[in-house]
Chain A
Amino acid sequence: MAARRDDLGDDAAAGGGTLACLSGDLDAGYADFVRVHADAVYCAALRLSGSRADADDIAQETFVRAYRALQGYGPDRVRALEARPWLLTITLNLWRNRLRSAARRPRTTAPGRPLDVADPEPGPEERAATAEASRTLVRLLGALPEHHRVPVVLHHVVGLTYPEVASVLGCPVGTAKANVARGLERLRELGARRPDKEEP
């Protein structure tokens, strides 16, 4: 029987997801902090940017910036932070900066370019239809304008709550909800549109 003993992990590791554990000793708690939030940050970076290489850069840079910022924060400020929205705000800014510099150097990723990244593991045959649908959905997401894509990705793909989305977007919760809903509606329209028809 390999029952595990939680009593060992109490203070050091449990609660690694909160910033409270970083307020004491940043270096001791940061590894767990990265582990807890890596998936959300990477997923957001991937679905916003549409490229694995960009996602890796953006997500890594998010945690590097976060670490440097936390080094300068006092314990009270650290405790007051909401980890997920705070991190994703950094992610979003890094992605936007990248879009802007890409716009100045046209040879790289153009903003709004259809995304070329599908599901990471194509999966066995029975899931092929799902994988194909996911690939298509990724392309549709890439076709969404940024003000629709961001709330949809944050809420429906990454899984942020409405208050968290609002915090990232810097708007009231009601506005965040409305933006998510409008984005979803726009996505539905794109999905329903015949591929051979020109846009109006």
Chain B
Amino acid sequence: MTDRTPKRTGARTSTGPASPPRVSGVGGGRTPTGPVALRRLRTGAPSGFVPAVLDRVGLHPGDGFVLVHGPAGDLFVAFTDEGISAVVPAAVVGGDGERFARHHHRTTGRTARPAARPPAGLAGALRSGRARNLRYDLSGLTPFERAVLTTTLEIPPGEVRPYGWVARQIGRPRAVRAVGSALGRNPVPVLIPCHRVVRTDGHIGQYGLGVPLKRALLSAEGVDLERLERLAAGGVRFVGSDSTGVFCVPSCPHARRIGAGHEVRFRTADAAEVAGYRPCSHCIPVPVRSAS
């Protein structure tokens, strides 16, 4: 087995059957060759390896799922080898895994089996409300839907943005309704926070899983719903600070810090700009103006 044909292997420097070929570029002092250095060469299979193997043997692995505590009730979270593929509140399917598996099969066409471990980072993301670094499997969606969801992931916990904001951020400012329906089809609610997208007039708006859950999720992350609704009822869409000259959407953390005597309310972004206020760079209440 070790006798290789010396005539051919590295023919120029071959010095005998057992001698390894010259190693060029090695040196510059001692190279660590001990167990610790060798241990560092341990690598994992690349992503996509497992699906590729299963595909080759004609198996469709189905999704794994876990039941976890969410910010407003337990959640079934399903995932493939590529990432999280579905989230369903336990209350919707009625707490047991069998029923979730049936629900998952009905809605996605894929089977689901209980997994030993949740996907990496899930627990932390549910605790903090920041789930943008999790991996998602959105492979069944259109590019438009994926763009809407990816943008929605950027909305920080405790803040809300209007549908029009999402439409603008993905470069389709007129597609407000389409954004609404794409969010309504969000396969991974709670994690991709479509509950943080509200009506342009500031009202809380609809939610695929029911408005009470939307309110519960927002309250759980510290959104002051009463304040937002009071402002919305009064036609206020933006608030500014007369000491900084900056205006924001009402749920922006900068807006919430404005002192009582310094809050200025606006019905439109134009009114704010006419009054000499500039848009906040955190919540981006209006499109960034180009030079014109």
Cα distance A96–B45 in the bound complex, in angstroms? 20
Q: Which of B116-124, B159-167, B209-217, B278-286 contacts A (4 or more CB under 8 A)?
A: B116-124
A59 touching B45, Cβ below 8 Å: yes
**Interface magnitude class on chain A:** 35 or more
Q: Which residue of A lies closest to B62 (CB)?
A: A31
Residue from A4, A146, A188 with most neighbouring chain B CB atoms (10 Å):
A4
B26 touching A140, Cβ below 8 Å: yes
Q: Taking the complex as formed, is B143 at the interface, i.e. its CB lies under 8 A from any CB of chain A? A: no
Cα distance A143–B25 in the bound complex, in angstroms? 12
Q: Taking the complex as formed, is B69 at the interface, i.e. its CB lies under 8 A from any CB of chain A? A: yes
Given A4-B66, A38-B45, A39-B45, A14-B116 contact (CB < 8 Å): yes
B38 touching A110, Cβ below 8 Å: no
Chain B residues with CB under 8 A of A112: 4, 9-10, 20-21
Chain A residues with CB under 8 A of B44: 38-39, 42-43
A133 touching B31, Cβ below 8 Å: yes
A133 touching B21, Cβ below 8 Å: no
Contact partner, B23, options A6, A46, A114, A130, Cβ 8 Å? A114
Q: Taking the complex as formed, is B49 at the interface, i.e. its CB lies under 8 A from any CB of chain A? A: yes
Contact partner, A152, options B20, B38, B42, Cβ 8 Å? B38
Q: Which residue of B lies closest to A152 (CB)?
A: B38
A31 touching B31, Cβ below 8 Å: no
Chain A residues with CB under 8 A of B35: 156, 184
Q: Taking the complex as formed, is A1 at the interface, i.e. its CB lies under 8 A from any CB of chain B? A: yes
Q: Taking the complex as formed, is B268 at the interface, i.e. its CB lies under 8 A from any CB of chain A? A: no
Given A13-B64, A137-B32, A137-B38, A199-B46 contact (CB < 8 Å): no
Cα distance A187–B44 in the bound complex, in angstroms? 23
Residue from B18, B38, B62, B64 with most neighbouring chain A CB atoms (10 Å):
B38
B102-130 CB contact bits vs A (8 Å, 1 = yes)? Answer: 00000000000111111000111011000
Chain B residues with CB under 8 A of A141: 41
Cα distance A74–B43 in the bound complex, in angstroms? 33
A103 touching B5, Cβ below 8 Å: yes
Q: Taking the complex as formed, is A145 at the interface, i.e. its CB lies under 8 A from any CB of chain B? A: yes
Q: Taking the complex as formed, is A16 at the interface, i.e. its CB lies under 8 A from any CB of chain B? A: yes
Q: Taking the complex as formed, is A80 at the interface, i.e. its CB lies under 8 A from any CB of chain B? A: no
Q: Taking the complex as formed, is B169 at the interface, i.e. its CB lies under 8 A from any CB of chain A? A: no
Q: Taking the complex as formed, is B181 at the interface, i.e. its CB lies under 8 A from any CB of chain A? A: no
Q: Which residue of A lies closest to B114 (CB)?
A: A8
Cα distance A120–B33 in the bound complex, in angstroms? 19
Q: Taking the complex as formed, is B54 at the interface, i.e. its CB lies under 8 A from any CB of chain A? A: yes
Q: Taking the complex as formed, is A190 at the interface, i.e. its CB lies under 8 A from any CB of chain B? A: yes
A168-194 CB contact bits vs B (8 Å, 1 = yes)? Answer: 000000000000000010011011111
Q: Taking the complex as formed, is B24 at the interface, i.e. its CB lies under 8 A from any CB of chain A? A: yes
B8 touching A34, Cβ below 8 Å: no
Residue from A114, A187, A196 with most neighbouring chain B CB atoms (10 Å):
A114
Chain B residues with CB under 8 A of A30: 54, 57, 59
B4 touching A12, Cβ below 8 Å: no
Q: What distance in Å separates the Cβ of B69 from its nearest Cβ neighbour in chain A?
A: 5
| Beyond known contacts A137-B37, A140-B23: 18 more, CB 8 A cutoff | A13-B114, A34-B53, A38-B45, A38-B50, A47-B41, A60-B52, A64-B56, A67-B57, A112-B10, A113-B9, A114-B21, A120-B43, A137-B38, A156-B35, A156-B39, A184-B33, A191-B26, A194-B27
Some 20 contacts from A to B, beta carbons below 8 A apart, are A2-B68, A2-B69, A2-B70, A3-B68, A31-B50, A31-B59, A42-B43, A59-B45, A103-B5, A110-B8, A110-B9, A114-B24, A133-B32, A136-B26, A137-B41, A142-B23, A145-B18, A158-B42, A184-B34, A190-B33
Interface residues of A (CB under 8 A from B): 1-6, 8-10, 12-14, 16, 27-28, 30-32, 34-35, 38-39, 41-43, 46-47, 52, 56, 59-60, 63-64, 67-68, 96, 103, 106, 110-114, 119-120, 130, 133-134, 136-147, 152, 156-159, 184, 187-188, 190-196, 199
